[in-house]
Amino acid sequence: MCSKNKRVLVAMSGGVDSCATAILVANEGYMPLGATMRLNNSSCVSDKDINDAKTACEILKIPHHVVDFSSDFEKSVIKNFVESYENGLTPNPCIECNFKLKFDKLFDFASELDCDLIATGHYARIEYSEKYGRKVLKKATNIKKDQSYVLYRISSKRLNKIIFPLGTINEKSEARELVTKHNIPIGEKKDSQDICFVPDGDYAKFIEEYTKKSYPVGDFVTTDGKFLGKHKGIIRYTIGQRKGLGLALPHSMYVVDKNLDTNQVVIGDPPDLMAKELYADNVVLSALDDISEWTKIKAKVRYNQSEQDAEATLENGLLHVIFNEAQRAISPGQSVVLYDGDIVLGGGRIVSVVK
């Protein structure tokens, strides 16, 4: 089927990237339809964002739909975020949103509209790989904008139904110029930052307001159990944190562990943050069918990190990764993503770290 016969549902947030995506989809000869997800949170997709998306679609002369995913967002993203912090984890809600909403619920809506494909404004690529004999997720051409890390949970089957038009542009300015050229009045709109439903970055305050609970104070202790002072609630601290501890310390020290059973936050020196080995669940392998034998790969454990040499295998449903060199502040709740060059092999959510 040629592209001009294919209907493409474009996820329209009202921002520059999604509007540029709609333009590029149309330029490729597809039939685009815009869809904006209402998430019932003004910080995520506000009424202004919805109106901006609607205006863009009117200018581009394409249909625009608003789909209410607020209950799904509440359950799959916000509630998961809060419960993760309560359980001592450091979650990545963008990964959950992509997996549960953009590339799951939105697929269902696309099917209702008889759309063949979905397009989003993510900076990544999907291309056929001769090596793996299938379409694979790849890093964006512009490595500084690459978002492949937060997209690793897209299955191989789903990759066949997704396009990322921005994956091959060299600079964000190209997207802005494209939007401005089409007289869409959002060319100077700022990019969204951090976690959309916690715009001020105060995660603990958000969690307390959401749960209507206060979290008990507890002890700061050293790795050998020495008392250092009182913390203000275990949800306020993340692995690798140095600032905001409120302690008079002899030198720079960091949060290296959290003990939920004793409500203790463990403080240590830089070497105490280092580890070479981890296990992860919720494993998705998109480029591989299996990884039952130890396989040399590259991997990273946070968004803003370069890939590191490692080996990986599956053991009883868990992804076991051993790095060649120790990594700093591997945090349960975050994700480990496996790469072969610029190809995403898959990944999983970190559940434990071996030091």
The DSSP 8-state label assigned to residue 119 in this structure reads E
Q: Report the C-alpha gap between 101 and 108 in whole angstroms.
A: 10
238: number of Cβ within 10 Å:
18
**What is the distance of C-alpha 341 from the center of its chain?**
20
Catalytic residue among 19, 57, 94, 97: 97
Q: Report the C-alpha gap between 351 and 193 in whole angstroms.
A: 26
Q: Which helix (H) or strand (E) holds 268?
A: strand 264-268
Catalytic residue among 19, 44, 115, 196: 196
Q: In what order do the strands lie in the sheet with 264-268?
A: 227-231, 218-222, 264-268, 254-259
- Quick check: is 19 catalytic? no
Phi-psi region of 30 (alpha: psi -120 to 50; beta: other; left: phi over 0): beta
SS3 144: helix
Q: Report the C-alpha gap between 338 and 259 in whole angstroms.
A: 29
- Quick check: is 115 catalytic? no
Which pair of tokens denotes residue 247? 């302690």
Which pair of tokens denotes residue 130? 């001769």
Q: Report the C-alpha gap between 22 and 12 in whole angstroms.
A: 8
Question: Using an 8 Å Cβ cutoff, are 354 and 275 in contact?
Answer: yes
Q: Which helix (H) or strand (E) holds 137?
A: strand 134-139
Q: Hey, what amino acid is at 342?
A: D
SS3 302: coil
87: number of Cβ within 10 Å:
14
Beta bridge mates, 230? 219
The residues that are catalytic are 97, 196
